Amino acid sequence: MNWVNTYVDEYYNWLREKTFIQQGATTDWFLISTPFMGAFNDSIEIYAKRNGDQLTLSDNGETMANLELQGLHIQGSKRRRDLLDSILLNYGLQSINNELLIETNLEKFSQSKHNFLSAIIEVNDLYVLSNNNVASIFKEDVRNYLDSQDIIYTPDFISKGATGLEFNFDFQIAQKNKEIVIKSFNTVNKQNLSTFLFSWEDIKPVREKSTKKDVRAIAVINDSEKNVKNEFLDALKSKNANYILWSERDTGSNKELLVA
């Protein structure tokens, strides 16, 4: 076992230790406090309620309220509304009176909670659109680059892993004998990198068995305004996941990585 395996294991133990559950005194709702950071560096909280075999997860309207407090008004822009709707659709959420919800079967609790957290984190990232100097989010930059290279891809690719969980990748490129899944990182950190590595390890054997193809992963990382720590790049290498630094996207070796 290499050092990355050790730290990934420690990361998931830390997730469990830092997750707290509290039952409402006068309601059937349970509060799940997670170690993931919200818009104001507070813990992301999810509310869960069971009704027979049915499960409801809610954010109690906090995600959208936080965006409003940061000056981002979703309803004031069709583009912002479309981005929000796309995120909710990808993860199976709905928005009712600015409250984010998932309603599903209780047996799907693990996947639903995973999807709910992923959606909240992506919605929180929409606050960058409140800055008038930001022309587009990084994922759109990556999409535009793939288009400029005449690369055929599937956006918002979902794949099930060995654990039974489904994971969302920004893009998938497929040819006869090879398949590539791509995740874009405007900012890379221990939290999102560990999630990416876990999802990559989880889907790889399943995809290779079902498609009979060599399945690879690429992390496209925005280093335009900040340096990327070598430890993050070393972690990707140790898991045989490739990476492309945005400043080096036009090099011949990086362009070859995108040829499936």
pLDDT at residue 260, rounded to an integer: 59
- Is residue 140 scored above 90 in pLDDT? no
Distance CA 113, CA 121 (A): 12
pLDDT at residue 124, rounded to an integer: 87
- Is residue 153 scored above 50 in pLDDT? yes
Q: What is the CATH number of domain 138-257?
A: 3.40.1350.10
- Is residue 1 scored above 70 in pLDDT? no
- The number of beta carbons lying within 10 Å of the beta carbon of residue 127 is 15
- Is residue 70 scored above 90 in pLDDT? no
DSSP assignment, residue 165?
A: -
Q: Label residue 132 by pLDDT band (50, 70, 90).
A: very low
pLDDT at residue 128, rounded to an integer: 62
Residues of the chain within CATH 3.40.1350.10 domain(s) are 138-257
Residue 109 burial (10 A CB sphere; 0-12, 13-18, 19+): middle
How large is the average pLDDT for residues 29-41? 89
What is the residue-averaged pLDDT of the chain?
88
pLDDT at residue 76, rounded to an integer: 62
- Is residue 174 scored above 90 in pLDDT? yes
Q: Does 25 or 246 have the greater pLDDT score?
A: 246
Q: Does 191 or 244 have the greater pLDDT score?
A: 244
pLDDT at residue 108, rounded to an integer: 93
How large is the average pLDDT for residues 9-30? 89
Query: pLDDT (tens digit, 9 = 90+) per residue, 192-225?
Result: 898 899 998 999 999 999 999 999 999 999 988 7
Query: pLDDT (tens digit, 9 = 90+) per residue, 219-257?
Result: 999 988 788 999 999 999 998 899 999 999 999 999 999
Query: pLDDT (tens digit, 9 = 90+) per residue, 104-130?
Result: 999 999 999 999 999 999 898 887 655
190-225: string of b/e by CB count within 10 Å (b at 16+)?
eebbbbbbbbbbbbbebbeeeeebebbbbbbbbeee
- Is residue 175 scored above 90 in pLDDT? no
